[in-house]
A and B are shown apart, each in its own frame.
Chain A
Amino acid sequence: MNTETVPGRKASENGPVLYVGHLRAGYGTREILKDVSVTVAAGEIRAILGGSGSGKSTLLRNVLGLEKPWSGTVKVLGSDLSEPGPEADLALSQLGVLFQDGALVTSLTVGQNTMLPLVLDGIPPTGAVQELARARLSQVGMADAWSRFPAELSGGMRKRASLARALVREPRLLFCDEPSAGLDPLTARELDDLLLELHGSLGLTLVMVSHEIESIKLLAQKIVYLREGAVLFDGTMQDALQSGPDRVRDFFARCVDPGDRPEPSTWETIP
């Protein structure tokens, strides 16, 4: 793990990189997360999974400070991102997010998108910044796409470019929202390998929201399984497969969360 001390990097070097305590959250009056607690230690690869509608994306949005929690605590690298201020800025500068469809800025080229995090820090996009961006782009195999616009790229390429952008500040923590969703199996595996490699070389803590069984099996050391806005299982992959709740083992065995099938209606019959 990257343990060198960088000036200004004070945010809880030793504490958990992500702490969520008794989080309740939702949209409008609709409650999505009922009581969620998750702790992720530095250097972990953690997958947050569950069927659709289980609250995975809502959890991620609340963790990233894009929604304000109803109650409970969220600390990312020691600070609450939904409270803007220098503390949140410091934490934001040490994390990267890979959004589901890449979320590259459409009006900027791939190169400009990759330089964007540093430009937002007030560094002009020339010289050193260009070299850093090029380095990240070649790391994800996208060096040729420097001057292309996001609209000209395929889904997989957009994700790679977005990953380069997320990595350009050399973050300690990387969030991935459905990293392999919408990709063909081959591209998805390549992306998984890339993430695994980065975890090894940068000592990155990885928190991924996913329901791709293959990616999770390959990457995750520990999982959190959400169901209807609550944590159904939190533990290592091995425990999940051997002694986890039926539903979690089912999920890994058959790639589905069966959900609750409604009882069929019955017709009354008389002889």
Chain B
Amino acid sequence: MAEIQLPTRLQREWALGEGAGLEMLARDGDLVLSGSKVEEVDVLAAGALQHLRRISRENGHKISLRAPSQVLLDRLAAHDPGPDAPPPAATAPRTALVRLGQSGWDAIAHVSEAWAFGVAMVLGTWSLVARREHAWPGATWRQLYELGASALPVVVLLTGLIGLTLALLMGQQLAIYGESIHLATFMGISFVREVGPMLTAVIIAGRSGSAITAELASMSVQQEVDALRTLGAREASFLVAPRLLALLVAMPFLSLFASASGILAGLAVAVFQLELSPAVYFQILVQSIQLRDVFYTVLKSAVFAAIIVFIACRNGLATRGGSDAVGRATTDTVVAGIFWTVVADCVFALVLYL
């Protein structure tokens, strides 16, 4: 058992120096602090003493004050950290099997919840179209503008730039083999079948998907969604359906514009770098694209739209908490939206072109 004489003034210097050094003693055995001469205890020193007491108890030792001055007792009472927290309840370590079962169960719950949301989304949209339930008049038109029309410039510009880049690369390679004329074939097939719809999906998942999640998430956080429910509105038809309908209509158009933009960028390369005539470019282009390809593009884009709206609305409406949760939900939407549209695109490619 060690006995320590406390100085008259217990201040910052003592707390950080000698006081902190006493931790070792408190850890190793019983400790007596003799405090009869203490006249001043500052806040940090009081904290250091309380900390010594905690360390001592945690190591199963005793710490006591010998003839403490009133000042010391008062200061300790003023900075009392409360009763010792009860030891954490011993949780049985979870075996690998239990963990596996738990995550399997979570996955099933997740899938069934997603399924229920999907069903509610379809039914809600049907109720809105059939006029059994009502959104704010013109809500779909507003979404059509916000999610679709206002995204057109960025979609057209980006696909045009990527079209230009790809056409420059391909044009040079084709010229080596004297096949410059097939730049039109390459641009037509790649942009109508793949690059147009896929790039549009990525841009829309980032731009409109995140916008949907951010708006719905902040509505959830501010109890607006709760309020709507108590007014008798169902979020599937009031909030989700207008967004779904708008993007189902807008995405195919955006994809077609994107494809056209890329093809026109290819034309610029063909005319200015490869010195082809526009008429020849278009002639080859028309030969290479089939009507079936355009139909698949429209179909694919509509599926991408449904995937993006599904993910964005689900993430938005499931948001609980504060503004940090809104940010997290938005990030999730962008990542999941791009991931699942790429997966869907891959499935389309396997089904259509294998």
Contacts and interface: CB of A to CB of B under 8 A. Distances in A.
A106 B137 contact: no
A16 to B, nearest CB: 19
Nearest to A89: B232
A117 interface: yes
B219 A92 contact: no
A265 B84 contact: yes
A65 interface: yes
B230 A97 contact: yes
B83 A270 contact: no
Interface of B: 32, 53, 62-68, 73, 76-77, 80-84, 131, 133-134, 136-137, 215, 218-219, 222-224, 226-234, 238
Given A119-B137, A265-B80, A97 B32 contact: no
A235 to B, nearest CB: 28
Contacts of B65: 267-270
A93 interface: yes
A134 to B, nearest CB: 18
Which of B64, B67, B83, B136: most chain A CB closer than 10 A? B136
Contacts of A122: 131, 134
Given A93-B232, A108-B136, A262-B82, A268 B224 contact: no
Nearest to B81: A265
Given A103-B223, A268-B64, A117 B81 contact: no
Which of B63, B223, B230: most chain A CB closer than 10 A? B230
Contacts of A106: 218-219, 222, 224
5 contacts: A103-B223, A106-B218, A267-B65, A268-B65, A270-B66
**Secondary structure of the A side of the interface?**
loop
B218 to A, nearest CB: 8
Nearest to A168: B231
Nearest to A177: B223
A262 B136 CA distance: 53
B255 to A, nearest CB: 27
Contact of B77 (A97, A116, A121, A264): A264
B138 to A, nearest CB: 10
Contacts of B73: 267, 269
Contacts of B223: 99-101, 103
Contacts of B226: 61, 64, 66, 99, 103
Interface residues of A, number: 39
Nearest to B226: A66
- List 10 tightest A-B contacts by C-beta distance, closest first: A103-B227, A268-B64, A103-B223, A92-B232, A97-B230, A264-B80, A262-B82, A269-B65, A99-B223, A120-B233
B67 A120 contact: no
Contacts of B80: 264-265
B224 A95 contact: no
Nearest to B132: A122
A268 B83 contact: no
Contacts of B77: 264
A267 B68 CA distance: 10
Contact of B224 (A97, A105, A265, A267): A105
A122 B80 CA distance: 62
A263 interface: yes
Nearest to B237: A120
A65 to B, nearest CB: 7
B64 A271 contact: no
Interface in A74-124: 84, 89, 92-93, 95, 97, 99-101, 103-108, 112, 116-117, 119-122, 124
Interface string A131-162: 00000000000000000000000000000001
Contact of B136 (A100, A104, A119, A271): A119
Contacts of A84: 234
